[in-house]
Amino acid sequence: MSQLRDIMTSQVAFVTPQDSVQQAANLMSQHNVGVIPVVENNILRGVITDRDVVLRTVANNNAAATVADVMTANVITGTPEMSVDDASRLMAENQIRRLPIIENNQLVGIVALGDLAARQNFSGHAGVALSNISSNIPDPEPGEQLT
């Protein structure tokens, strides 16, 4: 059975809670990712997502916000030894797209739902999670604005 250590991305960019949201957004753009882990003293404190940036800074006209102001804390995590099936189930149950991987209280990697789905050919829990998460996002009609 495959473990997360076999499929996780181990070189993960991160920010600190004191960094600006602009710095986090720049890292997301630079690495073409939608989430950046928030690490302080080598311990995962949370994550900041592209959605956090838009909803909690841009939409609120809060350009001076720090990562600590907008990050999501109490993040669900996995371990390198966790099976791909268990991770798929965990992500499906919690409707999350990305799972930080922790070992000895330190961030050692991250697994995206796409990594699991590619590994399992969209079957099982990864496929269910992708379907459930995606179904919660409305598809706009051409020219329609989402509010």
- Give the pLDDT confidence of 113-147 residue by residue, as tens digits: 888 877 665 445 545 555 554 444 444 444 444 33
Could you state, in order of their start, the residue ranges of all structural domains in the chain?
Answer: 4-135
Tens digit of each residue's pLDDT (9 = 90 or more) over 68-89: 999 999 999 999 999 999 999 9
Domain 4-135 belongs to what architecture? Roll (3.10)
**Closest Cα to residue 146, out of 55, 72, 47?**
55
Q: Taking all residues of the chain, what is their mean pLDDT, rounded to a whole number?
A: 83
d(CA 131, CA 90): 15
- Nearest of 40, 119, 37, 127 to residue 78 by alpha carbon: 37
Q: pTM of this prediction?
A: 0.77
